[in-house]
Amino acid sequence: MRRLRLAFGRIAQETNSLSPVPTEVSDFTRTHWFEGAALLKRCGSRLRKEAPGFTFNAELSGFVREARRAGRVELVPLFSAWAVPGGKLSVEALEFFLERLTTDLIASGPLDGVMLSMHGAMGAEGSVDPEAELLRAVRRVVGPDCMIAVTFDLHALVTADKVALADVIVGYQTNPHRDHASCGRRAANLMVRKLRGEIQLTTTWRRLPLVMGGGTTLDFLEPMRAIYKRIAEMERIPGVLGAWTYQCQLWNDAAHAGWVVYVATDGDPELADRLADELADMNWAVRHQQPPTLPSASEAIRMARDATWRRRLGVVCLSDASDMVGAGAVGENTALIRALIDEGRGLLSFAPIRDAEVVAQLWDQTLGKRVAVQVGGKLAPEWYAPIDVTGVLLRKRHTAGFGRAVLLDLGHVKLVITEAAPLVMKPAFYHELGLHIQDADICVVKSLFPFRLYFLLHNRMTIYVKTRGVTDFDAWRTIRYDRPVHPKDAVAGWR
């Protein structure tokens, strides 16, 4: 058996194109960057974290382990770059990745396969489909016979170009996402079997004129539960290599936004077509189930106040649905903080805000000093107005992932001000600044679902709050997608 040479790497960022703040190369290097031997070492050992501070075992760990298990494989590590979700990549950032990927692949020598872990909903200034551009750059170097596999988030924007450029696309099948490593494992498994002639990869896909549906879209709740159950059944049918459903990144002005189903079989196009149609029908059938209407900041604070026992036994988490950093928001929602200051008296609240200028202004001040600053509304003034706050400077820290941070004591509100977007997903965000979430009545998080896992121990109640921002669920009303599209238009069918 011939030894296979397989390269692997990651360029991942989820773009919210409504955010006015561009994503630069430094946003990747600050958050997650490994290359060459260091990357291989990180993904090959169960004792190391693939993405320190964020996740233990992700796609590349799954890929490396499965490739090693298959045997007679030489692994060629490229680089792994991941940034917190945010605005579109700048022209320079996309240019940088196109060049770096090309250079690394040329230096790698002849390859049998390339596996790239991507989000699938990356946007870039001056580019309609930047991930397709990256895949095109890979194809140019490796030639038509090399196999290209990619892994995508379930919220990817799957386009005709991406489908055509990749031999196979493997995506998450869970929401909140918890099958990162399994995606990488499946990509390696399909790649090795295809390259050894054990399977013939036949893929097909359908795009639905649908940007919002499926209720909460959680995989373990109806209506999506039935769809994921059927996917699991489909994958047990002999000859089926995988079936996926992509729910797209809603907050994207990309014309091609829409739900997509993608099916891979072992050389059986009729079976692939039949299952893709069935899955598309199932997705289309749940289009009318929209996410619940969310309370305002005032209503949410009132609900938290009324939840006396839950606050006593733990904490009430306010998930800032309008300014969700986990979905690319800027992280400077002043409306929610204003409400907590004005209407949350008697409740101890922890809240984050991004403001690099204020951090710089306070960094050299002495701890314990009373200061007056104007925070927020600087990066996305069209969404948030700055607010004036007065408080005591309690702490200063260099954080992992969010730049420098300062803690300002405003009385019943403890405000953590960060340089970069505060992706509050884990209690560690507050712990780093000396705050213990079990002491708080209210804790503001900037993540939609993943935080529920990390806050499980102390979270007694989750309230999703709507103010106004780039991650509002009803944003589809104003975004210009290709028409007609559900729920903007009455669309008769997906075919």
Q: Which residues make up the interface to Zn ion (CB under 5 A)?
A: 153, 155
Size of the chain in residues:
495
Nearest alpha carbon to residue 142 among 170, 174, 192, 104: 104
The residue (of 155 and 256) whose beta carbon lies closer to Zn ion is 155
The residue (of 59 and 441) whose beta carbon lies closer to Zn ion is 59
The residue (of 104 and 153) whose beta carbon lies closer to Zn ion is 153
> Shortest Cβ distance from residue 13 to Zn ion (Å)?
12
Would you give the DSSP letter of residue 476? G
> Shortest Cβ distance from residue 189 to Zn ion (Å)?
23
The residue (of 155 and 206) whose beta carbon lies closer to Zn ion is 155
At 150, list the tokens. Answer: 């990619």
Mapping DSSP to helix (H, G, I), strand (E, B) and coil, where does residue 261 land? Answer: strand
Beta carbons within 8 Å of 121's beta carbon, 6+ residues apart: 14, 15, 153, 155, 156, 157, 248, 249, 252
> Shortest Cβ distance from residue 488 to Zn ion (Å)?
22
Beta carbons within 8 Å of 172's beta carbon, 6+ residues apart: 152, 153, 154, 179, 180, 183
The residue (of 23 and 202) whose beta carbon lies closer to Zn ion is 23
Q: Which residues pair with 416 in a beta bridge?
A: 352, 407
> Shortest Cβ distance from residue 204 to Zn ion (Å)?
23
Beta carbons within 8 Å of 340's beta carbon, 6+ residues apart: 297, 301, 347, 349, 351, 412, 413, 442, 444
At 175, list the tokens. Answer: 């929401």
Residues 250 and 475 sit within 8 Å (Cβ to Cβ): yes
Nearest alpha carbon to residue 377 among 350, 402, 354: 354
Closest residue to Zn ion, Cβ-based? Answer: 155
The residue (of 219 and 441) whose beta carbon lies closer to Zn ion is 219
Beta carbons within 8 Å of 399's beta carbon, 6+ residues apart: 405, 418, 429, 432
Q: Which residues pair with 263 in a beta bridge?
A: 204, 243
> Shortest Cβ distance from residue 249 to Zn ion (Å)?
8
The residue (of 180 and 256) whose beta carbon lies closer to Zn ion is 180
The residue (of 153 and 323) whose beta carbon lies closer to Zn ion is 153
Residues 442 and 420 sit within 8 Å (Cβ to Cβ): no
- Tell me the residue type at 272: A
Residues 170 and 242 sit within 8 Å (Cβ to Cβ): yes
Cα–Cα dist 430/473, whole Å: 27
Give the distance, in angstroms, between the CA of residue 57 and the centroid of all CA atoms in the same chain. 16
> Shortest Cβ distance from residue 182 to Zn ion (Å)?
15
The residue (of 33 and 449) whose beta carbon lies closer to Zn ion is 449
- Tell me the residue type at 194: K
